[in-house]
Amino acid sequence: MRLVLVLGDQLSSNLSALRKTDKANDVVVMAEVMEEATYVPHHPKKIAFTFAAMRKFARKLRDDGWKVAYTKWDEPDNSGSITGELIRRASEHEAAGVVYTEPGEWRLIEALGDLPIKAHQLPDDRFIASHDEFDAWAEGRKQLRMEYFYRDMRRKTGLLMDGDQPEGGKWNYDHDNRKPAPDQVDYSGPMQFTPDDTVQEVLELVADRFADNFGNVENFWFATDQTQARRHLTHWIKGGLPKFGDFQDAMLNDNRFLYHAIIGLYINAGLLDPLEVCQQVEQAYLDGDAPLNAVEGFIRQIIGWREYVRGIYFREGPDYNSRNALDHTRNLPAVYWGGETKMNCMAKSVAQTRDEAYAHHIQRLMVTGNFALLAGVDPVQVHEWYLAVYADAYEWVEAPNVIGMSQFADGGIIASKPYISSGNYIHKMSDYCGSCAYKVKDKTGPDACPFNLLYWHFLDRHRERFKGNPRMGNMYRVWDRMDEKRRDKVLKEAQDWLDRLDAGTAV
């Protein structure tokens, strides 16, 4: 007999390791272990979601006829690591070896590659593009732009295709998906589930063992099995999808979810199949229940961006997470862990992250990510923060989004220019600025929005790198037309602000 490893983000009945083994003879190994729960200080809700979903999936496998060797966190024989549990279970069952599906982190791939027992890794074919397929697409290209990869994925899947042409005549409707925050939201938000006995047991465990981590397990509402996740998806398609496209970039003080799907954690853990999700969303368009801009925008995030960043992660290799093309070295400010700040947008985004283990892509990219980039924060620390605090964060998807897209630390592999903005973008897309201690219209002075000051400070200190970038030339022309005294004032006030930040002053 062999062992069949199932990890906490592989909770799929069609997992390659399960398909290629024999339930009559082989033994599934699943384990809640110290090493996986603590290599970054994961949000307690993320840990609780993973453990609860694992326990329910193990029960589902047993009901389906599998033998499952499941190790709970507080079992006395728990070795504390995935490799340790495989070695222990191999001895216990006199196993001939272990079969497993490729993990989504180089750290685990390398650890499993060093097992002292025979091990066979299978590809994770829950994705649309294999590694070979992505590498073949990327080979010889000077720029690996997602848009062209996305079009190939549309052709491959047939999603939103009219023969060999895109539905509606355009591949991308992103231009229609940039409306500012609405006055009110007529959607109740994500479906919320009352914890059952399995979930409650996990919540008590996590509350006790991870009390010092950022966040807590209060008001836990996540789906924790496939049935619940599918109910949530149906609920969102009916109520949230129709206006998702219009307002997907918007942010509000008093509404944390707007029209967002909040299914990344379910897809990334394996509770939902990404292609099936996209097919259901496409059907809403075909049935006349959702507009094309919303449906295309959502499908692009799944079969375009999600597949693309996975391709980048595995193509670039294990050192990708440590890249720092801009040589940023500032320590991650205390505001990211809930420290006091007068910046309302940061306070709101971090508080939401603390409470929900969730923030949507614009809060991540253009608030917390934008601030870290402008301030020159060490991208490795930024990466580890995002990996820790979000329930949907697994390294294969999180690292390219942060190291590449958000922090430009990969030197431009993903993004053609840094994603930076002054306070004006946040003001346009949210109601944050109206209740902020700083004034978004002030470019200098004691009340000037820090994003306004830091924006020009970033451009000035990185001029040699970016002055020839065709997408940034206009920014530098605006800067150069400023009066020299004004430029000096902006740079001095920005540096003074950063000095106060470094000193631990609440800014």
What does 377-444 look like in DSSP terms, one character per residue? B-HHHHHHHHHHH-TT--HHHHHIIIIIIIT-TTSSSS-SS-----HHHHHHHBSSGGG-SSBTT-SS
What's the confidence (pLDDT) of residue 309?
98
84-116: b (≥16 Cβ within 10 Å) or e: bbbbbbbeebebeebbbbbbbbbebeebbeebe
Domain stop point among 100, 122, 144: 122
In a domain, 49, yes or no: yes
Q: Are residues 358 and 444 in the same domain?
A: yes
Distance CA 304, CA 311 (A): 11
For the stretch 278-333, pLDDT in tens is 999 999 999 999 999 999 999 999 999 999 999 999 999 999 999 999 999 999 99
Q: Rounded to an integer, what distance in angstroms lies between the CA atom of residue 96 and that of residue 26?
A: 10
C-alpha distances (whole Å) from 2 to each of 30, 66, 86 are: 14, 12, 11
Could you tell me if 419 and 496 lie in one domain? yes
Residue 379 has pLDDT above 90, yes or no: yes
Same domain as 180, residue 37:
no
Mean pLDDT of 478-493: 97
Q: Of 122, 145, 178, at which residue does a domain stop?
A: 122
Amino acid in the structure at residue 201:
E
Question: 324 lies in a domain?
Answer: no
* pLDDT the model gives residue 175: 87
Structure confidence at residue 181 as a pLDDT band (50, 70, 90):
confident
Cβ-based burial of 338 (10 A; exposed 0-12, middle 13-18, buried ≥19) = middle
* Residue 213 included in any domain: no
**Domain extent for 158:** 131-189+240-315
Give pLDDT, residue 5: 98
* Cα dihedral sign, 98-100-105-106: positive
151-159 long-range contacts, Cβ below 8 Å, gap at least 24?
153/128, 153/129, 153/303, 153/304, 153/307, 154/299, 154/303, 156/128, 156/129, 157/128, 157/275, 157/278, 157/303, 159/278, 159/279, 159/282, 159/299, 159/303
**Do 182 and 261 sit in the same domain of this protein?**
yes
Are both 184 and 101 inside the same structural domain? no
Is residue 374 assigned to a domain? yes
Residue 358 and residue 269 share a domain: no
Residue 355 sits in the same domain as residue 477: yes
In degrees, rounded to 5, the angle at the alpha carbon of residue 248 between the alpha carbons of residues 191 and 216 is: 50
In the chain, the number of structural domains is 3
pLDDT above 90 as % of the chain: 98
Inter-residue contact 188 to 239 (CB < 8 Å): yes
Tell me if 194 is assigned to some domain. no
Are 368 and 258 members of one domain? no
Mean pLDDT of the region 394-399 = 98
Q: Residue 255 is part of a domain; what is its CATH number?
A: 1.25.40.80
Tens of pLDDT, residue by residue over 295-310, are 999 999 999 999 999 9
Res 176: pLDDT: 85
CB neighbour class for 194 (10 Å; exposed up to 12, middle 13-18, buried from 19) = exposed
* 488-502 average pLDDT score: 97
Q: Is residue 176 part of a domain?
A: yes
The CATH number of the domain where 461 resides is what? Answer: 1.10.579.10
**Residue 400 CA to its chain's centroid (Å):** 9
Q: Which of 75, 104, 122 is the last residue of a domain?
A: 122
Quote the CA–CA distance of 60 and 271 in Å, as a whole number: 12
Q: Identify whether residues 291 and 371 lie together within a single domain.
A: no
Residues 114 and 157 in one domain: no
Q: Is 274 a member of any domain? A: yes
Residue 78 belongs to a domain with what CATH number? 3.40.50.620
Mean pLDDT of the chain: 97
pLDDT digits (tens, 9 = 90+) for 183-229: 899 999 999 999 999 999 999 999 999 999 999 999 999 999 999 99
- Say whether both 261 and 171 belong to one domain: yes
Residue 206, domain member (yes or no): no
pTM for the model stands at: 0.97
Does pLDDT of 76 surpass 90?
Answer: yes
496 in the same domain as 392? yes
